[in-house]
């Protein structure tokens, strides 16, 4: 092993002692100057430290208060006061089966989206207010207000309520759900598990866009509709329904609706995109219902029947495996006036194939309005036929 001074000349070695002395002396002078210059600061710091320790209980560490502000906290601050609790109150039955008192049947959340004069408007889920005899809204500050139902829509699971606006200071700002990107951060605000957890906040990301979730609306174990929803991993629990899903700007981009509750599934929450909800909200606010076109028929899927009945009862050609069976035609309905009959099988609307009842409804609701004409392709007794039908509103049937 060598040394760092190995190989020095004799001249350098001989002058080493005087060199070290001069360097050391210079260091002492510089160090003394630094001490003199910083002494007032050191004394001042020590005095401060002593005053803190004198006011601090012995053996306890000093507490530090932090004022943390992030994009998330700012978004929550902007949106949270517009999210409310909704209590569904229904009549309870006594032992003899007669009505006795009213009681809370369930709770959910809602979003105040508008204030017009002395009235505030709230959007929530249809299933939150379903079968309610009374509705009560709890504001973010705990104030309770009786609510009136303007209208609800089972197909999109949306409803609109009104309350007095006297105690309402903030309304939500709607964003653009069409502009969302997968992986974008989002925040769910609502009342999971009841009003005891009011104003709860969970954070996640947009996990998926345009998810189609089959929905059985009448409990007959047959899917009646496909809800088009956003998927998020922000925690959504019972009571969050009807609450806000907001983006990092604090804008509402979804109305929380449901979660997939299976033992093998975690972190799949679903929210109605605000762009889908807006026209529904406008119709419910204006008419108390959604103005949808109707044919005046009851329908059933062809693929629910055994192949024997498809060919022997309906007389369908062997290559026709999909379509919609007309089970009943209402008197004086558009379908009756267009000549449709029981057991006719609709296979296309305006030339676009119709595989099942959900596809028929989606085409009608997304592309047609009251008073529009639709061209219907159908099979009767094994022969393909066509007819034109002038649609009416569902409420007019």
| Tens digit of each residue's pLDDT (9 = 90 or more) over 349-393 | 999 999 999 999 999 999 999 999 999 999 999 999 999 999 999
Token readout for 3 is 């040394």
Q: What does the alpha-carbon distance between residue 349 and residue 342 come to, in Å, rounded to a whole number?
A: 18
pTM: 0.76
Asked if 294 contacts 300 with a C-beta cutoff of 8 angstroms, the reply is no
CATH number belonging to domain 177-279: 2.40.10.10
pLDDT of residue 242: 95
User: What are 10-35's pLDDT values in tens digits?
Assistant: 334 444 444 444 444 444 444 444 44
Q: Do domains 74-164 and 177-279 have the same CATH topology?
A: yes
Fold adopted by 74-164: Thrombin, subunit H (2.40.10)
Enter the DSSP assignment of 239.
Answer: T
Please state, rounded to an integer, the average pLDDT across all residues of the chain: 84
Higher pLDDT among residues 228 and 60, named by residue: 228
Q: What does the alpha-carbon distance between residue 92 and residue 105 come to, in Å, rounded to a whole number?
A: 9
Q: Is the pLDDT of residue 267 over 70?
A: no
Token readout for 363 is 């085409």
Higher pLDDT among residues 326 and 8, named by residue: 326
Q: At 89, give phi and psi (nearest 5°).
A: -110, 125
Token readout for 14 is 């001989």
Strands 293-294 and 324-329: unpaired
pLDDT of residue 395: 82
**Which residues fall within 8 angstroms of residue 73, CB to CB, at 6 or more apart?**
none
Mean pLDDT of 44-60: 47
Q: What does the alpha-carbon distance between residue 187 and residue 379 come to, in Å, rounded to a whole number?
A: 50
Asked if 278 contacts 245 with a C-beta cutoff of 8 angstroms, the reply is no
pLDDT of residue 56: 53
User: What are 247-260's pLDDT values in tens digits?
Assistant: 999 999 999 997 66
Residue 176 annotated to the active site: no
Residue 207 annotated to the active site: no
User: What are 154-207's pLDDT values in tens digits?
Assistant: 999 999 999 999 999 999 999 999 999 999 999 999 988 777 778 899 999 999
Fold adopted by 293-396: Pdz3 Domain (2.30.42)
- The answer to which of 142-151, 174-183, 211-220, 335-344 has the lowest mean pLDDT is 211-220
Q: Which residues of 200-238 are buried (b: 16+ CB within 10 A; e: fewer)?
A: bbbbbebbebeeebeeeeeeeeeebbebbbbbbbbbbbe
pLDDT of residue 31: 46
Mean pLDDT of 305-333: 93
Asked if 256 contacts 206 with a C-beta cutoff of 8 angstroms, the reply is no
Q: Quick one: what percent of the chain has pLDDT higher than 90?
A: 62
Token readout for 209 is 């866009």
Residue 241 annotated to the active site: yes
Mean pLDDT of 80-108: 83
pLDDT of residue 19: 46
User: Which residue among 152, 241, 271, 333 is the active-site one?
Assistant: 241
Q: Is the pLDDT of residue 39 over 50?
A: no
Q: What does the alpha-carbon distance between residue 156 and residue 154 come to, in Å, rounded to a whole number?
A: 6
Higher pLDDT among residues 341 and 50, named by residue: 341
Domains of the chain, by residue range, sit at: 18-50, 74-164, 177-279, 293-396
pLDDT band, residue 340 (cuts 50/70/90):
very high
Q: Give the H/E segment covering residue 26.
A: helix 16-55
User: Which residue among 157, 233, 283, 356 is the active-site one?
Assistant: 157
Mean pLDDT of 292-312: 92
User: Which residue among 81, 109, 127, 344 is the active-site one?
Assistant: 127
State the CB neighbour count (10 A cutoff) for residue 383: 9
């Amino acid at each position: 092993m060598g040394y760092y001074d190995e190989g020095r000349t004799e001249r350098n070695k001989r002058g080493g002692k005087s060199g070290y002395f001069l360097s050391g002396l210079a260091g002492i002078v510089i160090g003394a100057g630094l001490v003199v210059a910083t002494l007032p600061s050191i004394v001042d710091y020590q005095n401060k430290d002593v005053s803190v320790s004198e006011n601090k209980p012995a053996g306890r560490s000093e507490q530090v208060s932090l004022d943390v502000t992030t994009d998330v906290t700012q978004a929550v601050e902007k949106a949270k006061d517009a999210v409310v609790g909704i209590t569904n109150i229904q009549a309870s039955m006594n032992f003899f089966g007669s009505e006795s008192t009213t009681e809370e049947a369930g709770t959910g959340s809602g979003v105040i989206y508008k204030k017009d004069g002395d009235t505030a408007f709230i959007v929530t889920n249809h299933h939150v207010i379903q079968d309610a005899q009374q509705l009560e809204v709890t504001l973010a500050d705990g104030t309770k207000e009786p609510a009136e139902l303007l209208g609800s829509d089972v197909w999109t699971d949306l409803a609109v309520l009104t309350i007095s606006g006297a105690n309402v200071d903030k309304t939500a700002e709607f964003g653009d759900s069409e502009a969302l990107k997968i992986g974008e951060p989002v925040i769910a605000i609502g009342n999971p598990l009841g009003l005891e957890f009011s104003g709860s906040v969970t954070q996640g990301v947009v996990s998926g866009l345009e998810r189609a979730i089959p929905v059985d609306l009448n409990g007959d174990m047959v899917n009646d509709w496909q809800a088009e929803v956003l998927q998020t991993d922000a925690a959504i629990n019972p009571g969050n329904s009807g609450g806000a899903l907001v983006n990092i700007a604090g804008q509402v981009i979804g109305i929380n609706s449901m979660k997939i509750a299976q033992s093998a599934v975690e972190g799949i929450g679903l929210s109605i995109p605000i762009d889908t909800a807006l026209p529904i909200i406008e119709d419910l606010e204006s008419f108390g219902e959604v103005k949808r076109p109707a044919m005046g028929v009851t329908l059933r899927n062809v693929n629910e029947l055994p192949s024997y009945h498809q060919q022997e009862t309906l007389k369908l050609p062997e290559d026709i495996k999909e379509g919609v069976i007309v089970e009943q035609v209402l008197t004086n309905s558009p379908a009756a006036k267009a000549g449709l009959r029981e057991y006719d099988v609709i296979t296309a609307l305006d030339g676009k194939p119709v595989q099942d009842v959900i596809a028929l409804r989606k085409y009608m609701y997304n592309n047609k309005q009251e008073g529009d004409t639709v061209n219907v392709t159908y099979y009767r007794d094994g022969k393909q036929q066509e007819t034109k039908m002038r649609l009416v509103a569902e409420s007019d049937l």
